[in-house]
Structures are given as C-alpha cells and as structure tokens.
Chains A and B, each alone.
Chain A
Amino acid sequence: MNVVTNNKWIGQRTIRPDGMDKVTGRAQFAADTTMPGMIWGKVLRSPHPHARIKSIDTSKAEKLPGVKAVVTSKDIVDFPIEKGAVMLGIQDMRWMCRNVMARDKALFPGHPVAAVAATTEAIAEEACKLIEVDYEVLPWSIEIDDALKPDAPILHEFNKFDGKPSNIVGRLEHKKGDIAEGFKKADVVIERTFTTRPVHQGYIEPHACLISVAPDGKTTIWSSSQGQFMVRAMTAYLTGIPQSDIRAIPAEIGGGFGGKTIVYLEPLATLLAKKSGRPVKMVMTREEVMRATGPTSGSKSTVKIGATKDGKIVAAHGTFYLQAGAFPGSPIRGAAGCSFTPYDIPNLLSEGYDVCSNRSKVAAYRAPGAPIGAYAVECVLDEVAEALKMDPLDFRLKNAAMEGTKAAHGPVFPRIGYIETVEAAKSSPHYAAPLGDSHGKLRGRGVASGFWFNAGGESSAQVNITEDGNVVVTTGHPDIGGSRAGIANICAELLGIDYRRVSVIIGDTQTVGFSNLTGGSRVLFASSMVVTQSTEKIIQTLRERAAKIWEIDPEAVKWENGAAHPASPNAGQFEPLTLEELAEKAPAMGGPIGAGVQLNTQGADGGFGTHVCDVEVDVDLGIARVIRYTAVQDVGRAIHPGYVEGQLQGGVAQGIGWALNEEYIYTKEGKVDNPGFLDYRMPVCSDLPMIDCIMVEIPNPKHPQGVKGVGEVPLVPVMAAVANAIYNALGKRFYALPMSPPKVLEVLEAPTQQAAE
C-alpha cells in the first residue's frame, strides 16, 4: 500500500466547504429559487403505458383564468428518427425530444403530453385536467420476457432486429478467445439465470427548475443537475435557442447518482417562460420522480463459467438483457463490459441486449449496468468456488486481472490494484472474525468484487489570486461527492497555503469553460488536472514576479510554503515573498494573477473493489439484515479520505437497498404501484451497520495526484456480496432481486431440489 505521508493537505479530512450551508439550511437547491412575477408549470402525463396520441385539444385549458401558457410536442424541436442519431454525450436527441414530451405515441404512464404555466400550482393542475387528449390505447409490455415475446407490442416500429420489428434496440458484445474450446477444458461448469428489478436512484431532491426568458431571448436557468452544460445544450437543442443565449446556473444538488444527467423539465419550462413572458418554476412531486424519471434497468442475465480443478477459469459466457424503458439506451456497456473485468479469462463472450418496454426511460445509475452484470457473475463465481472447494477470495486471486492482462472490452491493463483489494479483504479483521452469536437467527458471510471503467473527458477551471492574496477556484462541475473539498486540498497543497484560503466555486455556463457532466466518477480526476495545471501556471507567474523584484533569473526562484524563495544560496539572499505580498504588488508587476486551463482529460484508470458482507436471517419472517460490511477499494489516492469513505459507504447503502428491498412494482394496468418512499423501500439508517472502508492506494501514474474515480465502483459488488452471504447463511441460492422477506420465506419454504452441480 502506498501511504502518502509528506502532504499537508492532500489526504486530510478538511471541513467541507459546503457543509455549513447544508447543515444550517442556507444551501440553495433548485426549488429554493424564486423571482418576481414567477408562475408555476405543471405537466400533464399519459395515464396509459402505450397509446397513440390522435389529438390534443388545449383550448379549454388556455381559457382558464390564470393560465399563461400551454405547450405540447409541437413546441419542442423535433429530431426526426429517419434523419439519424444526433448525439449529446450518450444521449440521442431523437429520444430526448420524445422523452421530454410524447410526440405520436405515449410510451409509459407518466410520459409528458402537455405542460401548462399558470399563476398558481393549483390553477396549473386544474388546467392540465382540462386538456383533452384523444388516445388510441395500445397493448403494452413492461417486463423483458414480455417485450421479447414474438407477438409483443412493438414500441418503435422502425426498429428491426434479425430483420423483424423488435423491441431489441441494441446489441453489444465483447469477445476474447473461443468459449466453445474453453468450456471443453473445464472440470466444473456452472450456468445460472438471474433477474433484477428496476430500481430508482432515490435522490432526495426532486427535479426542479426556475427559468426566465427575457424579451430578447436571453435565458437564465436555475436547476439541479449533474451538468449545467448538459442542461444548456439539451435545452438549446430542444428549444432552438442558441447556447450563447442560455445561462444555466447550477444549484446545489440534493443527490443525483446518475439520474440527473438528463433533463426533464428545463426545455418545458423554457418554452412556457418564452410563451408567457414570465419566469416559470417547475418542481416535480416524488410521485412524478418515481413514475417519469429514469430508474435503472430491470434485467435478465445468464452467466456460465467454467474452471479447471485447480481453480483456473477457462471460459465464461454472459448474456445480459437490460430494460431500456421507452427509448433505446440501457447501460449494456456497463453490464457486458465490466462484469468479467476483474478476471483474466482466456475465453470470454459477453453480450448485452438493449430492450425497450413501456416504462420510463432508463437514466444512468452509479456505474450504469455494472452492478447488474456483477450480481450475476459474482454469484456464479461463488458457486464455482464452492464446487471447487476453494475459498472464494483465493479463487478470485487465482484468476485476478493484473498489469498486462487484456480486458475483453479492449484495454491492456496498466498497473491496477485489483489483487491488492482481494488481499486486503482477505487480511481484514472482518474476514478473520467469527460470524458470532446469532440469537436463533442464521448468519452467513459472502464476498464479491467489482469493476467500473471511470472516465476522463472535458473539464475547465479558472484559478484566480484575489487582491488580498487568497485563492478562488472556479470549476464547471456540480459538486455531488465532495469535489470542492478535494480541489481545495489540492490547490492548497500546490500553493503551500492553508486550505481555508482557497475558495472553490462551481461556475455557470457563461462564466467558466465547457465542463462535461458530473458522472463516470470523473470529476475529481478531471477537474484536479485542470486545476493543477492552472495552479502551476500561477506558481510560474509568481516565481517570475519574484524574480523580477529580486532581479534574478526566474529559474533561481522556488515556490515553497506559500512564498517565493531563492532556489539556493547562489541565487542571492532575499526575504521570501509571500502570496499576499505578491498579490499586493500585482498591479505594478504586470497585472492580475490568474490562469485557466481547459482539457479533454485522458488517463482515467478503472477502479476495482472487493466487498465482505455478513448477514443475519430471521428464518421465520424471511428478513435478511446486513450486520457487518467491509468495502475495500483501490482508490488511487484519497485526496479527502472522509469523502472517499462517504462514496464507498453511500454506494454500499444503495446496493444493500437494491439487494434486499428496492424494486419497482407494477399494477395490472402497467402503472408503478409504489411511487413513493413508503413502499419503495430504500434503507434507513437503522437498517445498516456502520460500513467499514479499507482504502487501498495504488496511485494512478497518469494523474498528477494519482487520482482514480471512486464514486461508482462501490455499488458494483454489493448485491452479489449480500446474495452470497445469504446463501452462506441458509444453504439456499437466490437468483432474483430483491431478496425481500416474502421472497426469502418463499424460497425457504419451497421443497429442496436445488442440487449443486
């Protein structure tokens, strides 16, 4: 383990810059913004899972006193399907324009069909009821199996698979070696099929925005998102307003987890504001969030793994069907690309299928697709290890990917830390501890590993020295996971000053350079690169200024502890010039001190984690509870360990919810039956043990501080770790999530016939 010892701020648990505002309620979330003359927008949503929209009559709504504007799909810029993809990041605007407002067809209950702005929320709601929509109700399907039936209703008639109209809207495969040959060499082969339910990201803050469009078209958006530039670009595409006229101001964000990487309300509110000439505010209800914003996919995966007697995996085949919802775009890349990646498998075929069905369009959720795939793969690995009578961690070590391993999705790994995570799990106090007294309940332990790609991409930063010699850093990414604190630590370290002198701000679209989404675990990786380069430029300027004052060569000046010093006694004898002093002299010495850097950052290394989970099962009630959990992860370098642990713990908490209780439940009519936190059961504090974290630090050699993304990996192994622990407790395998009490009891009471192969 590479422990960083010689840093002053990097690696410190500094007080978070946004902490005071958040605990005192001063932080401004999207719904906290108001403007004079503001009116309210509401969305009319389809009650049907699948229906052709024959006509929409808004005339009665428009006549209701207090109504200021009504918009329908006619007002949204169309991206015709036949003209081909128009991509913005991973989103195709053809689907986005149809997702924010149904065009010819409504594709899920909750699909917007019109929006109204009125002087009060109540009038806007009333007006929605007055809009007459003539629907031709169509047959529908939600579950993957139903959507794949030969006679399934087809959502997008233009789409063909194997030459026929189909709900399979995408396929991807990663291949290495020859699996048929590989399986021939195997002594043990296990193949299983797994299902998972759609689960929501569960951010506490519902989508919200306030938008003002001035008579000259200049548009200001206050909204909560994972990317103000994404908000600007999508709104520009969907409304026709040029990006230069849209200022998107990021609010503090009350959680996103991937779910706020697309827009729902902003284009509608912009059009309503433009039509009405009034600022328009829109805030979703929780029910709208649950019905109409993306959960992640439900899935059906089949995984087959073959190994030799001595524990070497010789072949593996994974087939992952993921529910995309109404429009193409489920995260098959994560499922097919990540699931086998911790292992060096000579013969591998990993296939992903993107399946449309009549539920809301999928949105990214923490390592999109990877937890779904890892659940299946890591559970089968557990069975293979058991059949081989090997410790599951030893089995993973024996097959671990390492520097030089070629991953099926392409790259040859540089120095990676997967093995270290397994070793740390193995030598952890948790793995060595006995399961302990169970008070009549059954206890078990399980392990699982996971991988996520991590991303680089575009980031911009501006670092300015204030006139009093302090520092303001502006970056372009909404801070969801603590990036402001991390950046402050790094900038303070580089400048050799107290971190409290560095103020980190998230700029809006018109005041900082383009910065891609907060997603892909990329923000600290990418923004610290641009901040580092900006700060290095500033240090260069400071040295030059000191050199000028001392009349020596800039090369003879070094920057240390917040001041310029002669680099050596040969350079001459001078009192150090501090940042404050140089700032004060700035006007006379060439002007303000500041630097900005914009990059498309490269070199983000993937991340690996290995988890150990203990459960206790009340066999009479079928309740499984996680009683101890340790998450081990290669975090590159923990710039702010508290925040890194927060990411690990948060990911684990979400995974435990996914494993044990969270699921979308549908009525017979195809509507979400549990659109609220009472019956969509995310864990509460008392459901979870303290989640222990072991941070393995294998610095990323391509990053100035060794940073690797840490935010997504921690969700990847969790469901498998919990499932494997439940098996260890009960001696029965579960092949479906969630392992909620009625389902656990059902398996426990079923006649035993699950013989292991």
Chain B
Amino acid sequence: MTELRYLAPDTLDEAVGAFAKAGSAARILAGGTDLLVQMRSGVLKPGVIVDIKKIPELTAIEQTTDGGFRIGAAVSGMALAEHETFGKVWPGVLEAVNLIGSKQVQGRASAGGNLCNGSPAGDSVPAMVAAGAIVTVQGQDGRREMKVEDVPAGPGRTNLKPGEILVSFTLPPRPPGSSDAYLRMIPRTEMDIAVVGCGVSLTMKDGVVTSARVGLGAVAPTVLLVEDAAKALIGSRLDDAALAKAASACSAACRPIDDKRGTIAYRTKVAGVLLKRTAAIAAQRAQGK
C-alpha cells in the first residue's frame, strides 16, 4: 500500500524538476481521463503525480506571429472548442479532439494526454499528424521540438526522454484554400474507441490539390503518416482514380492486428474507405463549400 503524492506546480520549471526527481515512479496528469482509469484498474501505481493544469503555458491557446496556432498540451477539448478562430482554421483537428469521449470527458481530456498516452487509436493524433503539428517538449536538458508523428513509439510508449514533458503543439499557418477533416470508424455512434481513424489535411487551388497530408490511426503499433496516400492526392482533382490510389496506399500502409475490436481484413479495407470520405470532406471545406 504505497503512498501517492500529488503535486500541482505553477511553473514548467518546477514541474520538470519535480518530474525528473521522482523518476520512473512519477506520472504527469493532464485531464486524467486515461491516467486515472489506468490507476483504478491497477495497470499503473504511480508514487508521484505531477498535475500540469496550473501551468499557464500548458493551458494556453495562442495565435503565433506567422498565423499558426500554439496549443498547450493540457488544453481540454471543451476549451479548444470554445476558441473563436481555431475551429475555423483547423476544423479537422478540432473535430478529432472533440470526438474524444463524452461531454464530461471533454471537460478534462487534452490532446497532449491523447498523444502521450501512446494509444495507436487516439483520435486527435492522426488529425495532428495530418496537420503537420510540431510539438515542443521540455526536460532537464531544456527544450526541443519534434514532429508529432515521431512522438509515439508503440502502444503505450512515446519517444519522450525520461523526465520530459510535452509542452505544446504548434500548427503551421494555413495558405488560402486549406482545410482538414477527421473521421473514425467505431461500431457505435459515440463513446467508443476507433477501429480505424483517418485525418486528411489539404490545400487546393482551382480544384487541384497542391499539398496534402494523411494520418492513419489504429492500424499499426503507432499512428502513421501515409506519404504515399498524400502523393496520390497531390496534383489531382480528387477524381475517383486518385482517391482509389490514395485509398490503396492507406490500405497498404496498414499493419494492423486481429483483435476484439476488428480483424486485419476489416481494418485494412476500412482505412481506404475512410481516406476517401475524409478527403472529400476536407476538400469541400478547403473550397469553402
């Protein structure tokens, strides 16, 4: 019956210090909607919990000088939804974050927690990957930046170094004609875990895709950036042939498992179906329709 210490520092430096000091027994707490569940089920028994929600930088949403966005790692889904402009610029990222759980869960759950939890099925991750988000992390040795797709290392694991805390996501400025979308397949209509998740971000000019990024979730040990799918879309008018090619690229990228949530055959097929549907929504939005 080990003791549990709860710390809620006001500054990032304090948090980093406390986190590093406590070593492997410590866990960061953002919304807690994964952490507390894991503690209750006995999967995790941390000795120290470092709550990061009191640190202003981690709960801030800012517009960067170049017109991008910086979102604190602990910003809740609800807070992001209430931001005046974010959802207009990044509707796909927002819908992905807002798909997490229910209203109650939304009041707490963060994109940072979603990413650091390391689940290949985390909903916001494929959308962040498609968005080309860069994350800032801070540890004892200072700050560094990583591509969001480089953060997950495998189910339940990340490439953050011991003692590092995820600080924020930075999303790039958007050229005109850009938008994004996220769709997931779940057997129910809500309160479920993605069997496949797909994020697509597009920039279009005169009906032609000029740039594209595709993120796929729940089909491999980590969320995937599917560059072949993006290539198939770029230069196309999203005609059937281009979509079919991108869909095959998604299916080909899948390295799923057979489990209680879906079969390999099912996930592989659905990855392609979702790519087509997600791209269509992103394109509609990009063209202001």
A interacts with B: yes
Cβ–Cβ < 8 Å partners of B188 in chain A: 661, 681, 683-684, 686-687
Contact for B260 among A126, A674, A684, CB less than 8 A: A674
Closest-CB distance, B218 to chain A (whole angstroms): 13
Is the Cβ of A620 less than 8 Å from the Cβ of B273? yes
For residue A403, CB closer than 8 A to chain B, the reply is no
Q: C-beta contact mask, B187-214 vs A, less than 8 Å → 1, else 0?
A: 1111111010000000000000000000
* Separation of A448 and B37 alpha carbons in the complex (Å): 41
Closest-CB distance, A498 to chain B (whole angstroms): 39
Chain B residue with Cβ nearest A682: B188
Q: C-beta contact mask, A112-137 vs B, less than 8 Å → 1, else 0?
A: 00000000101100100000000000
Closest-CB distance, B118 to chain A (whole angstroms): 17
Is the Cβ of B1 less than 8 Å from the Cβ of A123? yes
For residue B233, CB closer than 8 A to chain A, the reply is no
Is the Cβ of B270 less than 8 Å from the Cβ of A621? yes
Q: C-beta contact mask, A618-635 vs B, less than 8 Å → 1, else 0?
A: 001111010000000000
For residue A387, CB closer than 8 A to chain B, the reply is no
Contact for B1 among A126, A678, A740, A741, CB less than 8 A: A126
* Separation of A674 and B188 alpha carbons in the complex (Å): 15
Is the Cβ of A681 less than 8 Å from the Cβ of B192? yes
Cβ–Cβ < 8 Å partners of B269 in chain A: 745, 749
For residue A187, CB closer than 8 A to chain B, the reply is no
Among B188, B189, B270: residue with most chain A CB under 10 A: B188
For residue B263, CB closer than 8 A to chain A, the reply is yes
Is the Cβ of B273 less than 8 Å from the Cβ of A678? no
For residue A746, CB closer than 8 A to chain B, the reply is yes
Closest-CB distance, A123 to chain B (whole angstroms): 7
* Separation of A625 and B185 alpha carbons in the complex (Å): 13
Is the Cβ of A742 less than 8 Å from the Cβ of B260? no
Is the Cβ of A741 less than 8 Å from the Cβ of B266? yes
For residue B265, CB closer than 8 A to chain A, the reply is yes
Q: Beyond A123-B1, A674-B260, A681-B192, is A623–B187 a contact (Cβ under 8 Å)?
A: yes
* Separation of A741 and B266 alpha carbons in the complex (Å): 8
Is the Cβ of B189 less than 8 Å from the Cβ of A686? yes
Cβ–Cβ < 8 Å partners of A623 in chain B: 185, 187
Closest-CB distance, A632 to chain B (whole angstroms): 26
Among A120, A684, A742, A746: residue with most chain B CB under 10 A: A742
For residue B261, CB closer than 8 A to chain A, the reply is yes
* Separation of A746 and B265 alpha carbons in the complex (Å): 9
Closest-CB distance, B182 to chain A (whole angstroms): 16
Closest-CB distance, B89 to chain A (whole angstroms): 28
Is the Cβ of A673 less than 8 Å from the Cβ of B260? yes
Closest-CB distance, B31 to chain A (whole angstroms): 17
* Separation of A620 and B269 alpha carbons in the complex (Å): 8
B-side interface residues, number (CB < 8 Å): 20
For residue B262, CB closer than 8 A to chain A, the reply is yes
Q: C-beta contact mask, B1-37 vs A, less than 8 Å → 1, else 0?
A: 1000000000000000000000000000000000000
* Separation of A598 and B192 alpha carbons in the complex (Å): 49
Closest-CB distance, B120 to chain A (whole angstroms): 15
Is the Cβ of A678 less than 8 Å from the Cβ of B193? yes
Cβ–Cβ < 8 Å partners of B185 in chain A: 621, 623, 741
* Separation of A749 and B189 alpha carbons in the complex (Å): 23
Q: C-beta contact mask, B219-259 vs A, less than 8 Å → 1, else 0?
A: 00000000000000000000000000000000000000000
Q: Which of A618-669 contact B (CB under 8 A)?
A: 620-623, 625, 660-661, 665
Closest-CB distance, A750 to chain B (whole angstroms): 11
Cβ–Cβ < 8 Å partners of A126 in chain B: 1
Cβ–Cβ < 8 Å partners of B190 in chain A: 684, 686
Is the Cβ of B266 less than 8 Å from the Cβ of A684? no
Cβ–Cβ < 8 Å partners of B189 in chain A: 625, 684, 686-687
Q: Which of A703-757 contact B (CB under 8 A)?
A: 740-742, 745-746, 749
Chain A residue with Cβ nearest B2: A122
Is the Cβ of B191 less than 8 Å from the Cβ of A742? no
* Separation of A746 and B263 alpha carbons in the complex (Å): 10
Is the Cβ of A622 less than 8 Å from the Cβ of B266? yes
Chain B residue with Cβ nearest A123: B1
Closest-CB distance, B143 to chain A (whole angstroms): 36
Cβ–Cβ < 8 Å partners of A678 in chain B: 192-193
Chain B residue with Cβ nearest A619: B273
For residue A145, CB closer than 8 A to chain B, the reply is no
For residue A32, CB closer than 8 A to chain B, the reply is no
Cβ–Cβ < 8 Å partners of B193 in chain A: 678-679
Is the Cβ of B187 less than 8 Å from the Cβ of A745? no
Cβ–Cβ < 8 Å partners of A673 in chain B: 260
* Separation of A620 and B266 alpha carbons in the complex (Å): 10
Cβ–Cβ < 8 Å partners of A742 in chain B: 262-263, 265-266
Closest-CB distance, A621 to chain B (whole angstroms): 6
Among A620, A621, A679, A740: residue with most chain B CB under 10 A: A621
* Separation of A686 and B189 alpha carbons in the complex (Å): 6
* Separation of A742 and B193 alpha carbons in the complex (Å): 15
Cβ–Cβ < 8 Å partners of A687 in chain B: 188-189
Q: Which of A680-709 contact B (CB under 8 A)?
A: 681, 683-684, 686-687
Q: C-beta contact mask, B119-131 vs A, less than 8 Å → 1, else 0?
A: 0000000000000
* Separation of A647 and B269 alpha carbons in the complex (Å): 39
Closest-CB distance, A747 to chain B (whole angstroms): 12
* Separation of A621 and B266 alpha carbons in the complex (Å): 8
Q: C-beta contact mask, A597-624 vs B, less than 8 Å → 1, else 0?
A: 0000000000000000000000011110
Is the Cβ of A122 less than 8 Å from the Cβ of B266? no
Is the Cβ of B260 less than 8 Å from the Cβ of A661? no
* Separation of A297 and B158 alpha carbons in the complex (Å): 42
Is the Cβ of A745 less than 8 Å from the Cβ of B1? no
* Separation of A661 and B188 alpha carbons in the complex (Å): 8
Q: Which of B147-188 contact A (CB under 8 A)?
A: 185, 187-188
Is the Cβ of B265 less than 8 Å from the Cβ of A621? no
Cβ–Cβ < 8 Å partners of B266 in chain A: 622, 741-742, 745-746
Residues of B within 8 A of A (CB): 1, 41, 185, 187-193, 195, 260-263, 265-266, 269-270, 273
Q: A-B pairs with the 9 shortest C-beta distances?
A: A742-B266, A686-B189, A620-B273, A665-B260, A687-B189, A673-B260, A742-B263, A661-B187, A684-B191
8 contacts between A and B (CB under 8 A): A122-B1, A126-B1, A623-B187, A681-B188, A687-B188, A741-B185, A745-B266, A746-B265
Q: Give 13 new A-B contacts, CB below 8 A, not counting A679-B260, A741-B195.
A: A120-B1, A621-B273, A622-B266, A661-B187, A661-B188, A678-B192, A681-B187, A681-B188, A681-B192, A683-B188, A684-B189, A740-B187, A745-B266
